[in-house]
Chains A and B, each alone.
Chain A
Amino acid sequence: MRPGMPLLLDLLRGQASIHDGSERDWLAVLDLAEQENILPWTAALLRAMPDVRPFPQLGQRLREIHRDAQISAFFWASALRSILTDFHDRGIPVVVLKGPWLTERLCGDAALRPCCDLDLLVRPQDVIQAETLLADLGFSPRRLRDDHERPWRRGAVTVDLHHDVEHPLAFNFDVQRAWERTEPSPFHGVPARLLSPADELVFLCLHSARHCFERLSHVLDLTFAFRSLPAPPAGSHAERNSEITSVLALGEAMAARLDPRGAKPMSADTGSRNRRHLEELADQLWLERITRPCASVDWRAKHEFYLRMETHRARRFFRRLRHGRILLDRLIDADFAFAERFHLRQRWQVWLLRPVRLLFHVGRASPSPP
């Protein structure tokens, strides 16, 4: 395991006492927790321990983390509230994904989970209006609209404006039906909407899968989610869609590896062979995560992970076809960066050069398209 990981896992599972490690060990645990994006929660667990006094340096660090987390949570919650107010004033329905609101609902305190951007979901027919609003608020788009989102930035604040949660050819979340099931809910007094609890669980599992469970934060989110959110009901789209069911099953399997006590049997039937495959995949993933840091996940890595989730060769074949179909529709930063080498910036020129780039695999991501 990675240094500090055994102690960190014991702490997360509620099986550690302060005397299980030296001050240096615990400081290393905090460093590891920061790498895994779970620092505030880890620090809160340590602060809750009966006696941290023998470790003054640790105590100081915990106070700093607590303060920083409260300041950060205030910043993001205030920014979110302000933006939701503007969306409400413009009459644009918006669903809040993840972020400080999710942490408040699942953990009781927005400061317990780091936030680095805001994710908002609008209906496809409202995208243009929402983008106009963001532009009026001083946000600038960071790149072209992607499979399902487009990041906008104003100073230190990034808003990922979603029209879907993943490309439908990759995973069909059926966002239209999900919108019908959304529920109105005020965020700090401002009207907004939330996914239904079952849809939110699907979304969180899909989100973690999109990130290949690269950090412990992606697993920790699911342990909270599976404790609090119900599985999709029988007969629902998620329950009938085998790919979504697999995502749920994998999410549950990963959550169970971090928190075996919180695991509950899935109501959806994924089939015994598929279930075995997903459990084996979860074992592999878990072993990978606790033994080495995850490499940065890009679009290719994400879709290769989706392939790993497929049990049957035929399904993997059809998924490859769908991935190719997705690629045909989109230009990405690497395409523009490659075309820029020849001082070409028109979309039709970038399209023409794309096969050349793909053929020679020379593309590299660039920060923003022209």
Chain B
Amino acid sequence: MTSTLRPRSIPADRITIRDIDAETLLYDQRTHKAWCLNQSSACIWRLCDGTKTLPEIAAIATRQLDSVMSEDLVLLILAELRDKELLEEPSAAVLPEGLSRRQMISKAGLAAAALLPVIAAITAPPASAANGSVGTGDDS
């Protein structure tokens, strides 16, 4: 099943992308959500072009990251990407259940920990926190 799966990321015209050092920032114009991806997550996301199977993605990612990227780890990352709505349907819906983070570390050891996906939501502080004053309309 996984050997035929060809995941696809959401279309480029819906996303604003910026790389900072080893992280990749994404802004989804449809959901108006922003994400900060670590290196492994960003690598997998970029490889999801709808043409590559899981084994192919794992092999390419292993070369690009210079670390062993197992199919289990790719599945784990894909699950995170799906949860953040960064994968396009229908490939997102048919992802099989993979290993959890804890199971991944147990299986592959601490060496896999560095490759575990980190997809953090980017939020903004509330307006009052940075502005200080309450503005013009809240008291007289």
Are A296 and B134 in contact, with the CB atoms below 8 A? yes
Are B136 and A78 in contact, with the CB atoms below 8 A? no
Could you tell me the distance in whole angstroms from the C-beta of A194 to the nearest C-beta in chain B?
21
Are A332 and B140 in contact, with the CB atoms below 8 A? yes
By a CB distance below 8 angstroms, the chain A residues around B29 are: 78, 82, 85
- A:286-307 near B, CB below 8 Å: 294, 296-300, 302
Interface presence of B122 (CB below 8 A):
yes
- A:142-189 near B, CB below 8 Å: 143-144, 146-149, 151, 154-158
Q: Give the CA-CA distance A81 to B18 in the complex, in Å.
A: 14
By a CB distance below 8 angstroms, the chain A residues around B125 are: 116, 156
Interface presence of A327 (CB below 8 A):
yes
Given the interface pairs A78-B34, A79-B32, the reply to whether A156 lies near B123 with Cβ below 8 Å is yes
Given the interface pairs A67-B21, A78-B34, A81-B16, the reply to whether A157 lies near B124 with Cβ below 8 Å is yes
Proximity string of chain B (128-140) to chain A, C-beta cutoff 8 Å, 1 when within and 0 when not: 0111111111111
Interface presence of B111 (CB below 8 A):
no
Q: From DSSP, what is the main secondary structure of chain B's interface residues?
A: loop
Given the interface pairs A116-B127, A156-B123, the reply to whether A67 lies near B136 with Cβ below 8 Å is no
Are A302 and B134 in contact, with the CB atoms below 8 A? no
Given the interface pairs A75-B124, A76-B124, A78-B27, the reply to whether A299 lies near B132 with Cβ below 8 Å is no
Interface residues in B, total, Cβ within 8 A: 29
- A:59-82 near B, CB below 8 Å: 67, 70-72, 74-76, 78-79, 81-82
Q: Give the CA-CA distance A298 to B137 in the complex, in Å.
A: 7
Interface presence of B20 (CB below 8 A):
yes
By a CB distance below 8 angstroms, the chain B residues around A334 are: 138-140
Proximity string of chain A (108-138) to chain B, C-beta cutoff 8 Å, 1 when within and 0 when not: 0000001111000000000000000000011
Are A333 and B138 in contact, with the CB atoms below 8 A? yes
Closest to A151 in B: B127
Interface residues in A, total, Cβ within 8 A: 53
Q: Give the CA-CA distance A158 to B124 in the complex, in Å.
A: 10
Closest to A188 in B: B16
Interface presence of B25 (CB below 8 A):
yes
Closest to A357 in B: B140
Q: Give the CA-CA distance A215 to B131 in the complex, in Å.
A: 9
Partner of B20, one of A71, A85, A148, A294: A71
By a CB distance below 8 angstroms, the chain B residues around A115 are: 124, 130
By a CB distance below 8 angstroms, the chain B residues around A214 are: 132-133
Are B124 and A298 in contact, with the CB atoms below 8 A? no
A→B interface (CB under 8 Å): 37, 67, 70-72, 74-76, 78-79, 81-82, 85, 114-117, 137-138, 143-144, 146-149, 151, 154-158, 210-212, 214-215, 294, 296-300, 302, 327, 330, 332-334, 358, 363-366
Complex A-B, nearest 4 residue pairs according to Cβ-Cβ distance, in ascending order: A78-B27, A365-B138, A297-B133, A116-B130
Instruction: Please give 13 more A-B residue pairs, beta carbons under 8 A apart, in addition to A37-B131, A146-B136, A297-B132.
Output: A67-B20, A70-B20, A71-B122, A74-B20, A75-B27, A137-B32, A146-B137, A297-B133, A298-B139, A298-B140, A300-B139, A334-B139, A365-B139
B→A interface (CB under 8 Å): 16, 18, 20-21, 23, 25, 27, 29, 32, 34, 36, 122-127, 129-140
